[in-house]
Amino acid sequence: MILFPNAKINLGLHVLSKRRDNFHNLETLMHPVGICDILEFIPSPENETHLKITGIPVSGDMQSNLVYRAYALLRDLFKLPPLRIHLHKIIPAGAGLGGGSSDAAFMLKGLNQFFDLGLSSEELKIHAASLGSDCSFFVENVPAIASGKGEILVPAANYLHGCKLLLFFPGFPVSTAEAYSGILPDPDKESLTSILEQGLSSWRGELINDFEKTVFEKYPELRTLKEALYGNGALYASMSGSGSALYGLFDAEYAISPELKKGLVWEGLL
């Protein structure tokens, strides 16, 4: 079976409070975008599971990879056979795009279909949430307001319909720990939905990703990139998640400078 796990972007990201489990309560809108990894698995002829990773290098051994962990979770529950798995990485890691989470969720969905396990979407979400906070989003893979650690999902309107998205990766990752290092949670923010419903023309300066302050202070080139996106006519620009990727939303007809194109990793109509 061949699967194409896609990335996501965040529209706004509010860090509301610190939890007793040392995670944070968040509020954000997650929206799927078209840049994808490639994931393939077949039954293993060697009676042993192998995971081969090509494309963008990723750290860690096989047992720590989210794709393998997703397989191991369902293997143990349903006595699945060994597999030969190939993951080709295209989505940059440490970019706030959810690539690893998407790989894991698509592995769960693929195994459910291939082996006819009969798991519902809600059951898949529960399994996905045990692997990572963003994983549940990729089960249904539609725009959704995420809260809690990111695992509580409510379907949302497609606020980006008809927009052109340009996605940029600066060539380096930002760790989640770095992004959280300067965060001061604020439970009294205006609700994300009320900001979104004001419309795209009002989002600049209102629809905020709380991680930008900390991350931009450490990596000022990201602030420069965001300013360049607005300078090239973006209707809205933001960092995705905890970074380091940034995106700009443009009218369907747009033109950007050759200098800005250097970090472009995906563009498409939403």
Residue of 48, 112, 110, 35 lying closest to 78 (CA atoms): 112
The whole-number pLDDT of residue 144 equals: 98
Q: Is pLDDT of 163 > 90? A: yes
Query: Does the structure show a pLDDT above 90 at 34?
Result: yes
Q: Extract long-range pairs of 43-51: CB within 8 Å, 24+ residues apart.
A: 43/81, 43/82, 43/83, 43/84, 44/81, 44/82, 44/83, 44/84, 45/84, 46/82, 46/84, 47/82, 48/82, 49/82, 49/83, 49/84, 49/85, 50/83, 50/84, 50/85, 51/85, 51/86, 51/87
pLDDT interval class at 23 (50, 70, 90): confident
Please state, for a pLDDT cut of 90, what percent of the chain lies above it: 89
The pLDDT tens digits of the residues spanning 71-88 come to 999 999 999 999 999 999
Q: Which residue's entry shows tokens 């962990």?
A: 69
Q: What is the pLDDT of residue 252?
A: 78
The residue behind tokens 């440490």 is: 94
Catalytic residue among 125, 134, 210, 226: 134
Whether 251 sits among the annotated catalytic residues: the reply is no
Average pLDDT across the chain, whole number: 95
Q: Model confidence over 213-251: pLDDT tens digits?
A: 999 999 999 999 999 999 999 999 999 999 999 999 999
Q: Which domains does the chain have, with CATH numbers?
A: 2-155 (3.30.230.10), 164-269 (3.30.70.890)
Q: Examine the residue annotation and report whether 189 is marked as an active-site residue of this protein.
A: no
C-alpha 243/C-alpha 7 separation (Å) is 13
Backbone torsion region of residue 183, taken as left when φ is above 0, otherwise alpha when ψ lies between -120 and 50, otherwise beta: beta
Q: What was the pLDDT predicted at 235?
A: 96
